[in-house]
Structures are given as C-alpha cells and as structure tokens.
Amino acid sequence: MATLHIVDANGRAIVVEAGQGQTVMQIVRESGASGMEALCGGGCSCATCHVYVAPAFADLLHAIGEDEDALLDCSDHRATTSRLACQIVFDACMDGMSVTVAPAD
C-alpha cells in the first residue's frame, strides 16, 4: 500500500492508503473527498475529475493524452500541473503524492 494525500474542494486534507491499479479518481471518490464528480465514470469525456498534482510528482505520471489535454483546455482553472484523475493509474512509486481537487467549471 502507498499513501495518497488529497485536498478536497472544501480545502480539507485527507490521507488515504491506496493500492496500485486504481485510478486516482477512484481513490479520491472512495475517500469521501468533496468536489470529485467524475460524471463520465472515468471515460475521459467530462473533465469533472480535474486535479492539480504536486509538482514534485509530475514527472512520475505518463505523458498527458490528446483527449485529456483537449478536455483540460476547456477548463477555466487549468494550471501547469492539471491532470484528469481518471487518467492516472496509482502506483507504488507515487507513494506520498498529493493531489488537489480543482474548482468546478
């Protein structure tokens, strides 16, 4: 198990133990964090799972996909560390990673 740190839409900090193979979207939703709607269920078609990944962990993630990039471009809240949580498969090498739920568009 590895640890994921979450800051939800209300600014509440949550720390969860997570197994590898789940997406960060699934982990955040199961944590009870607010603000993670994930309306499309992980299909990379809604962008309601938008998070900011702590910069120190950005290099651990696979390159952003074309669809993910296009969806994030539609957000008024896109930042350099923006990702869609449903596109990040959690792995032990991400132990200690921090994600912040982005404001809703």
If binding is defined by CB under 6 A, does position 69 make contact with ligand FES? no
If binding is defined by CB under 6 A, does position 25 make contact with ligand FES? yes
Tokens coding 9 = 């839409």
If you search the block for the tokens 């390159």, which residue do you land on? 63
Q: Note the helical H segments in 19-101.
A: 24-31, 66-73
The minimum distance between CB 96 and ligand FES, in angstroms, equals: 23
Secondary structure of residue 42 in the 3-state scheme: coil
Residues numbered 39-68 forming contacts with ligand FES, rule: CB under 6 A: 39-40, 42-49
Binding site for ligand FES (CB under 6 A): 25, 38-40, 42-49, 84, 86
